Structure 1
Amino acid sequence: MSADTRPADLREAGEPAFAGLAERHRRELHVHCYRMLGSFEDAEDTVQETFLRAWRRRETFAGRSTFRAWLYRIATNACLDLLAKCRPEPATGGEVPWLQPYPDRLLDELPAGGEDEPEAAAVARETIELAYLVAVQHLAPRPRAVLILRDVLGWPAKDVAELLGDSVNSVNSALQRARAGMREHLPAERQDWTGGEEDAGTRAVVRRYTEASVAVDIDGIAELLRDDVRCSMPPTPGLFTGRDAVVRDWLDGGFADLKGLRAVPTAVNRQPALAFYLRQEDGVYRPLTIDVLRITGGAITEIVTFEADRFPRLGLPERLAA
């Protein structure tokens, strides 16, 4: 079956043919659910629920939209249902305990935009960065859906209104509220985000951060931090803002006492990241943490640290030989 699937084709399709058509859209649907939910694992579960609902409701596909758009409608509603059940309240205070990273190696599976769509490519990149994910998780579920459908996917207001069972005026009002909410939580220097290919300055900062971290050179790391740097470690509670507060937290957490660190560079959410391994008594290096960096103007403006359980999802080795 082609992307121009007719309702009759879908109704007559067997489960294998239907699954094959749906699978073509798995990655983009997963990213859409990830933006809505902020959790890689919740997004996986929701995509599976989307495919199940689509199969069961295939008779309802009337062909007024593309099969892809129909799947997006189902996925959005599945996300809203999950949020209503498990997370009725949005994030508060700048923290998102359920935040999980998204590996770039999987983002590379997304359909490439044309060379004549640089703006669309920039939007796709910026709206997957952790700062965007954190900000969007502070919105109530329905305004969040409106923002993502309108500003990220570019859906017309009337289509969003139809999906949500609202009027166009209600959708436009929700979009304005959502944009205002995003401005409260997005970095002030959003136009200076790392987005795009890393430049030499960014790579130099990452290299210096790697060297200082492996050497447990806290002063060296501190030199790379902007005065208003933010640091968090989901799902552990706590958001530390400012160089002094961040360094104090590291010292209180025993970072200065670590011995035998190694770092493996990686990339998540279109941002540079470092996977740290700690040498154990048997000489083997095992997963410790992953630091995801946001770098602006040659300084580190945010560090989000994830725990060792994220290593398998990111395709990182479970151990490094001595």
Structure 2
Amino acid sequence: MKTHAGRWLVALCVLMFCAAAAVLASGWQTGLSNQVNSQILWQLQLPLTITAVITGAALSVSGASLQVVLRNPLADPGIIGISSGASLVAAFVLILAPQALVDHLPYTLPVACFTGALFSTWLIYRLSVRLRGINTAVILAGIAITTLTSAIMGWLYLFADAQSMRNLTFWIMGSLHQADAWVLLVSAPIIVLSLLIIGRNATALNVLYTGDLTAKSAGVDPDRLKLTIMIACALAVGAAVAIAGSIAFLGLLVPHYLRLVIGHNNRYLLPASAVTGATILLLVALISEWVPFAALPVSMVTATIGGPLLLFAMVKGQLK
């Protein structure tokens, strides 16, 4: 099993490296001066690549760990409301905040997204404690939170001017082209730190498969572990939403299909989820670079691919 999972990890790393190289090379245009090509690389292609890598890793690892903590294969930052909570607070900042905050978006947007993600995570955590053993109810509560935030964001459209409406559409559809060096400088360290915290608890998450009582007998505090993982997921997802908006299905389907291939051991599943999620968004970025007339909304692409895959998994009885 270790050899099998290790081979998959190596293959995924090679694929991610090739995809990243292709994205960086896609902006290199012959016939332009070296200075122009250098600006394209450092100001456009490199931020795009970093955004795709850290966003894909954050969403996929968060989904994989939440599915263990909530004991439900449908747990996903988007479905249970973490992403929508982050997007809602960001929408308030974009539309209703005073100009002083809008002028400092590289700093205010990550803080706004963290706040929304943490609040949504707190609600989900309290519900999971109150509805212990009724995991379907937790997922339904998350769907209710997502629906409510979508409705509020719809009402915000009534107060938005043309520019604010375009910015708000970005949060709904997702984009890899919006983040610049300043936003990445604030958000990227938060994502990396959160993923390291989750990865450090991979063995404890394996123990959690056996139930809370068995985990306690093995020296793991399940309540503390769940709280730690959910806070780390909230920070990672909040930072991801701050730089790329809301992206659907990635955190749900990547860990699900990886479990079918390499098993449930989180020591391998979490890094494989990070590499796979990063690779998928790199491929989406590459496809977007090839489309000459528009930058494709990321959530539209992931939903187009993820929707049929989710239905296929349900028909096959894989989501139980």
The answer, yes or no, to whether TM exceeds 0.5 is no
TM-score category (smaller protein): under 0.3
Greater strand percent: which structure?
1
TM-score, normalisation: structure 2: 0.27
Highest relative contact order (Cα 8 Å, sep 6+), 1 or 2?
2
Greater helix percent: which structure?
2
TM-score, normalisation: structure 1: 0.27
